[in-house]
Structure 1
Amino acid sequence: MPPLSAPKTLFLEALVLLALSAALAVALNMARPAPLPWLGNGLPEAPATPAPPAGTDASGEAAAPAVREVPEIDTAQALALHAAGQARFVDARFAEDFAQGHIPGALNVAPGLFEDEIRTLLGDPDPARPLVLYCSSPTCPMGQELALFLTYMGYEALSVYPGGMAEWTAAGGPAEVTR
Structure 2
Amino acid sequence: MPEDQASLEAEAAPYVPPQKVTLRINGALHDLMIEPRVTLLDALREVLELTGTKKGCDRGQCGACTVLIDGERVNSCLTLAIMQEGRDIVTVEGLAAHGHPHAMQQAFMDHDGFQCGYCTPGQVCSAVALLGEVRRGDASLHTRGEALSMGELSDDEIRERMSGNICRCGAYPNIVAAIRSVVERAAPGG
TM-score where L is the length of structure 2: 0.19
**Greater RCO structure (CA 8 Å; 6+ sep):** 1
Q: Which structure's residues are more often strand, by fraction?
A: 2
TM-score where L is the length of structure 1: 0.19
